[in-house]
Chain A
Amino acid sequence: DAMVIQNPRYQVTQFGKPVTLSCSQTLNHNVMYWYQQKSSQAPKLLFHYYDKDFNNEADTPDNFQSRRPNTSFCFLDIRSPGLGDAAMYLCATRAGRLAGADTQYFGPGTRLTVL
């Protein structure tokens, strides 16, 4: 009964080789978020979708892009990964419109290694 699913759990890519991380949800939530978490740090919000509306954080590098083809799926594309992009990438969802819908539900994360 997993609610927020991320694939793969571990991803290895080469410096400069594009990579896509996947997130899906069974909660039918309006809002989906992508976070980057480096070792021993708090998660850092990269961007989010409210339905189809995309919202980028001001300090998110252009190297990071996202797609949300439907309610259930959201993808994180890293166009040219650098060594500094090695991190855990967390997807989260939130209901959005429901009363009291202030809780974000996180997936298990994808650990990205850049060689």
Chain B
Amino acid sequence: GDSVTQMEGPVTLSEEAFLTINCTYTATGYPSLFWYVQYPGEGLQLLLKATKADDKGSNKGFEATYRKETTSFHLEKGSVQVSDSAVYFCASRGGTSYGKLTFGQGTILTVHP
């Protein structure tokens, strides 16, 4: 079945540092790929998405590129802020009619001033 693997956390950075959170997937066909962010005590918010190979999703300074050849969708941000501290989930959506999401295990990011 489909699966998503994220880099182990937690990740701790200083403000303005560069962020990379690795994500790889296995799926049949060509899934859509997503990054969701979850702030403490809140639900998941869509951060960005890409629906086909070589697409780049971007939002709020975060970027991720759909790499079919490496089955990856790594999240990057050039300069993190304290307000970016949250849990980040990578997810894939296969071709099933009900659009089931397969989530990675989540990566906790803490940014210090």
* Nearest B residue (CB) for A4: B43
B32 within 8 Å of A by Cβ? yes
Contact-residue bracket for chain B: 20 to 34
> By the criterion of a CB under 8 Å from any partner CB, how many residues of chain A are at the interface?
25
Residues of B within 8 A of A42 (CB): 89, 103-106
- Are A103 and B89 neighbours in the complex by a CB distance under 8 Å? no
Question: Given the complex, which residues of A lie within 8 Å of B45, measured CB to CB?
Answer: 106
What mask results when residues 91 to 113 of chain B are scored 1 for a CB within 8 Å of chain A, else 0? 00100011111011110100000
Select from chain A the residue with minimum beta-carbon distance to B103. A42
Q: Are B93 and A43 in contact (CB under 8 A)?
A: no
| Closest beta carbon of chain B to A90's beta carbon, Å | 5
Q: B100 contacts A45, CB within 8 Å?
A: yes
Contact between B105 and A104, CB atoms less than 8 A apart: no
Binding site for B on A (CB under 8 A): 4, 6, 31, 40-43, 45, 48, 50, 55, 90, 92, 94, 96, 100, 102-109, 111
